[in-house]
Structure 1
Amino acid sequence: MAVLWGIPYLLIKIAIDELSPMTVVFGRVAIAALVLVPIAAAQGTLTSLRHHLVPVVTLGLIHIVGPFLLITYGEVHISSSLTGLLIAIEPVLIALLMLRREPLTRSGWVGLALGLVGVAVLVGLDVSGDRLGLLGAGMILLATLLYALATVYVQRRASDVPPTALVAGTTTVATIVLAPFAAFALPTGPVSGGSWAALVALGLLCTAVALLAFYRLIGEAGPSKAGLVTYANPVVAVLLGVAILDEPLRVSTVLGFALIVAGCWLSTRRPTVVAPEPVVECTMAAR
């Protein structure tokens, strides 16, 4: 899961070099829908969507349309590695959303503060003074909040929907919503094979397969633990960005990531419950 969601930032950066962000987002969700709808139909799981139309439409908007657009447009202004690092704050946001059900301990509040400081370090030192960079970082953080909301929503409203049907439904909703806008954003010039290949990989691996795995993970481990895959996402994103796109690796990048990871670990760590020692009743035998 972490690898599948660590590579899209590189692929997005490659694709938007020659394709518009709207085309990239529409293309990846349309490819995913074209693959998943026949699979769900063959499995006979599409009928389960009849009683879950509201959750499917809601997830299509808050887990796909909104975040995908924000991330893709955000990457026009910031690096792919910084994008992956900012999204790592997701477990902290999930912990905040789960406060009523899972109250934070003292260390959890410390973790929350550390995570936010890590974001401040990344934004303040990496894009300080760059208005477009700040805009891009803001888009990524808003997308991360939508991801956190969707992660919690899946467990509460759609945990009983088969993952294949759920992803087929949400990607279909996203495709329908984006189609009118994508019609006005088609490429007007030649597009290299590398950009098309990046788009296909985004649709197949980073959307279809990744969402299938993530929804199944939420059902088995819960939203808090499922969100922890973002611990490793940034590592993949940074390594690929530095190695392939020659993006800079600054001290602020390492420091911000360390603070965010520490904050995520503390804010999602559950206190260890020590079972009481059994009380053994002894009776003294009569002499």
Structure 2
Amino acid sequence: MGGPSVSTRGWLLYGAMAVLWGIPYLFIKEAVDSFSPAAIVAGRTLLGAAILLPLALHRGALRPALRVWPWVLAFGAIEMAGPFLLLGHAEQTLPSGLTGLLVATVPLFAALISLLRGDRGVLSPARTVGLGMGFAGVAVIVLGPGLAVADADAALLAVGQVLLVALLYAIAPFLIATKLRDVPSLGTITLSLLFIGLAYLPFGLLTQHEVPTVRSTVALVALGILCTAVAFLGFFALIREVGPVRAPLFTYVNPVVAVLLGVIVLGEALSPGLLVGFPLVILGCWLAATGGRLRRRPAPATDLPIA
């Protein structure tokens, strides 16, 4: 990775984050079995907010966030409200592993956004190759043989929804870097979760038409506690341990975790297209994000690939 060596605590935090943000797709797939997508968003965000709120109050992180609440709300809409709902809808059709892999295209969209913003560094040969390779991998996965879904049209719509999630995840850090730079991350995240949870609660109640199963309920609780509240606390600890530049490197492992869990736990098929496209997407994302260097360029500490 370059720079100072990573401590044992740092490696443990890397491993924890690779799992905590690699397993949401499995839990979402289980939750949508008997929860509506809106109910999942409401439950997950309110649970996360309930856990983080006492800590945010203790650290005095909420008051700075409340001063710029319109921008915090905009961040929550881009990073949580839209993506969480879209993922719930998409996983009613797509395998969880494929969903996790498609979300991993965030660095590709981030590189495109940087290019549109005038960052000429994105035009380096390695980054250009990475962009092409990453999107080619997506095309192979989606259009290649063996995509195990019953309705091809619904699958393409779901793929589009997940790629839109990746685009939104790529946009959010730019909002943080320009409008919320001086606001504590914990305050921004907690207030966003609370806003989004309260906004989705009535829609969740209105769209929930069946009694949730125990399995779906456990998955939803795990999403709120492990993949939201605990994951953010772990990410903040990782930033303190290794710095904001190296902290997001675990995101290259998340799709591996998502695909393996989908295969092992849910029995999802490894299609030929997925086997070919998987390494293309991961390598393309790495090249697009790093330019082929082992040490990444400085990036906002709030580069949060939430799932």
CA gap of 1:160–1:255, structure 2 versus 1, over 3 A, is same
Q: Which amino acid aligns with 1:255?
A: V
Corresponding residue to 1:34 among 40, 50, 53 = 50
In the alignment, the residues of structure 2 paired with residue 271 and residue 71 of structure 1 have an alpha-carbon distance, to the nearest angstrom, of 30
Deviation at 1:102, TM superposition (A): 5.6
Identify the residue that residue 141 of structure 1 maps to in structure 2. 163
In the alignment, the residues of structure 2 paired with residue 235 and residue 193 of structure 1 have an alpha-carbon distance, to the nearest angstrom, of 27
Does the aligned pair in 1 maintain the 2:72–2:191 contact within 8 Å?
A: yes
Does the aligned pair in 1 maintain the 2:126–2:291 contact within 8 Å?
A: no
**Post-superposition CA distance 1:153-207 (Å, at most 9, x none):** 2233223222221111110111122122112023433x33221111111001111
Does the aligned pair in 1 maintain the 2:96–2:259 contact within 8 Å?
A: yes
In the alignment, the residues of structure 2 paired with residue 198 and residue 271 of structure 1 have an alpha-carbon distance, to the nearest angstrom, of 37
Greater CA deviation, 61-70 or 226-235? 226-235
Identify the residue that residue 275 of structure 1 maps to in structure 2. none
Identify the residue that residue 13 of structure 1 maps to in structure 2. 29
Q: Which amino acid aligns with 2:171?
A: L
Structure 2: which 5+ residue stretches go unaligned? 1-16, 294-307
Greater CA deviation, 33-42 or 80-89? 33-42
Which runs of structure 2 are paired with 1:88-99 in the superposition (5 Å)?
Answer: 88-99=104-115
Identify the residue that residue 117 of structure 1 maps to in structure 2. 136
Deviation at 1:50, TM superposition (A): 2.9
* Paired-residue identity, %: 41
Deviation at 1:256, TM superposition (A): 0.8
Deviation at 1:3, TM superposition (A): 1.6
Does the aligned pair in 1 maintain the 2:86–2:161 contact within 8 Å?
A: yes
Corresponding residue to 1:103 among 121, 133, 140 = 121
Does the aligned pair in 2 maintain the 1:85–1:257 contact within 8 Å?
A: yes
Does the aligned pair in 2 maintain the 1:91–1:268 contact within 8 Å?
A: yes
Q: Which amino acid aligns with 2:29?
A: K
In the alignment, the residues of structure 1 paired with residue 120 and residue 218 of structure 2 have an alpha-carbon distance, to the nearest angstrom, of 43
- Structure 1 length as normaliser, TM-score? 0.86
CA gap of 1:221–1:209, structure 2 versus 1, over 3 A, is same
Structure 1: which 5+ residue stretches go unaligned? 273-287
Greater CA deviation, 203-212 or 126-135? 126-135
Deviation at 1:242, TM superposition (A): 0.3
Does the aligned pair in 1 maintain the 2:286–2:292 contact within 8 Å?
A: no
CA gap of 1:86–1:94, structure 2 versus 1, over 3 A, is same
In the alignment, the residues of structure 2 paired with residue 110 and residue 215 of structure 1 have an alpha-carbon distance, to the nearest angstrom, of 32
In the alignment, the residues of structure 2 paired with residue 111 and residue 43 of structure 1 have an alpha-carbon distance, to the nearest angstrom, of 41
Matched, 1:70 2:86: yes
3-state SS of the aligned residue for 1:14? helix
In the alignment, the residues of structure 2 paired with residue 81 and residue 131 of structure 1 have an alpha-carbon distance, to the nearest angstrom, of 19
Q: Which amino acid aligns with 1:240?
A: L
Greater CA deviation, 54-63 or 180-189? 180-189
Matched, 1:132 2:148: no
Instruction: State which structure, 1 or 2, has the greater radius of gyration over its C-alpha atoms.
Output: 1
Which runs of structure 2 are paired with 1:206-221 in the superposition (5 Å)?
Answer: 206-214=227-235, 220-221=243-244
Q: Which amino acid aligns with 2:138?
A: V
Q: Provide the alpha-carbon RMSD of the alignment.
A: 2.2
Identify the residue that residue 281 of structure 1 maps to in structure 2. none
In the alignment, the residues of structure 2 paired with residue 139 and residue 271 of structure 1 have an alpha-carbon distance, to the nearest angstrom, of 29
Deviation at 1:270, TM superposition (A): 4.0
Greater CA deviation, 148-157 or 133-142? 148-157
Does the aligned pair in 1 maintain the 2:134–2:282 contact within 8 Å?
A: yes
Corresponding residue to 1:157 among 179, 183, 190 = 179
Identify the residue that residue 176 of structure 1 maps to in structure 2. 198
In the alignment, the residues of structure 2 paired with residue 147 and residue 216 of structure 1 have an alpha-carbon distance, to the nearest angstrom, of 21
In the alignment, the residues of structure 1 paired with residue 182 and residue 48 of structure 2 have an alpha-carbon distance, to the nearest angstrom, of 21
3-state SS of the aligned residue for 1:91? helix
Corresponding residue to 1:47 among 32, 54, 63 = 63
Corresponding residue to 2:77 among 61, 71, 74 = 61
3-state SS of the aligned residue for 1:183? helix
In the alignment, the residues of structure 2 paired with residue 202 and residue 154 of structure 1 have an alpha-carbon distance, to the nearest angstrom, of 24
